[in-house]
Structure 1
Amino acid sequence: MEPTTGPAAPARLRTTPSWLLTQTAAHAARLVADGLGALDARGYHYRLLAALDELGPASQAELGRRCGIDRSDVVAVLNELAAKDLVRRAPDPADRRRNVVTLTTAGRRELRRMADTLDRVQDTLLAPLSPTDRDELTRLLTTLLDHHSGR
């Protein structure tokens, strides 16, 4: 879906928060996909690596729950990350039916590279806003998301 911006968009759309959020989210998604794509990575890669770095080793199922990624997608993405030696899977000593996924040293380096790229994407996306406005936007979006996700 191409965004409808400028004078071509009806005024009642340009003043509707849901429409503005949708248009901005679509633009943000393109910027993130382009930025991570230049690293041969995707958003799911970043989500899983960030979760492992922040919360430590986890089972594949737990990673999916933490990151809001479907179980079958988690397996496919972990296969991609393991092929690049960014994560390691090993049987869980407490339950041999499960794998525990751990971030490798190479995975931490790649996560830093991705985070640097995402920082630049945020700067591009939020360029017209002052640091104070950026903080306020983040606070407001967090309030909305927490409310609608039942947190």
Structure 2
Amino acid sequence: MTTPEPDGLLAEQLLRLTRRIHRSQQRRLESAGVAITPAQSRLLRALAQEERPPRMADLAARLEVVPRAVTTLVDGLEAAGRVRRAPDTENRRVIRVELTDTGRATLRSLREARRAAAEDILSPLTPQQRSDFGALLSTLVDARPHTC
């Protein structure tokens, strides 16, 4: 048996950690009665970051998916009462997507589940280790991608 390369091992560990956080978050959401897919969660978070309700095409670009995928996500979120489609006040042909009160409550549940999952996963670390880990993750997240 060969020993994995350090970078390969690190990549595998990061993937495993991400999966653990995701599973823990999903368990918390399910126990709170919140049924939502990861893609729908991502769309809600994207909506919450917008100053004004975006167009479907804007959401597709922001999420880096095809417009049809956003339509499917919005359909499911709208059926659950988490978002609504609304005509643009300046151009009635343009449809915008906005959060509802239920959508905002879902976002609060998502944030709490994510925070609790992270707390659970990070509990073996000391406060200093958490700070160091956070700084390292920030460095990686903020790094400019290398072009080949």
Alignment TM-score, normalising by the size of structure 1:
0.74
Q: Does the 8 Å CA contact 2:29/2:109 hold for their aligned counterparts?
A: no
Q: Distance in 1 between matches of 2:145 and 2:38?
A: 20
- Between the two structures, name the one with larger relative contact order (CA 8 Å, sep ≥ 6): 2
Partner of 1:6: none
After TM superposition, the runs of 4+ consecutive aligned structure 1 residues lying more than 3 A away are 9-16, 32-38, 67-70, 93-97
Q: CA deviation at 1:121?
A: 1.2
What CA deviation, in whole Å up to 9, does each residue of 1:57-77 have, x standing for no partner?
Answer: 111122233334443222111
1:1-150 superposed matches below 5 A: 12=4, 16-38=9-31, 39-56=34-51, 57-149=53-145
Question: What's the CA shift string for 1:85-140, capped at 9, x where partnerless?
Answer: 21111122344443111111121112112211111111122221223322332332
Which ranges of structure 1 fall in alignment gaps of 5 or more residues? 1-8
Displacement of 1:37: 4.4
CA distance in 2, matches of 1:149, 1:74: 26
- Taking only the aligned residue pairs, the percentage that are identical comes to 28
More displaced 10-residue stretch of structure 1: 120-129 or 67-76: 67-76
- The AA in structure 2 aligned to 1:17 is L
| TM-superposed deviation, 1:12 | 4.0
Does the CA-based 8 Å contact 2:56-2:67 persist in structure 1? yes
TM-score, reference length from structure 2: 0.76
* Amino acid corresponding to residue 73 of structure 1 in structure 2: A
Unaligned runs of at least 5 residues, structure 2: none
Return the alpha-carbon distance in structure 1 between the equivalents of residues 48 and 139 of structure 2: 25
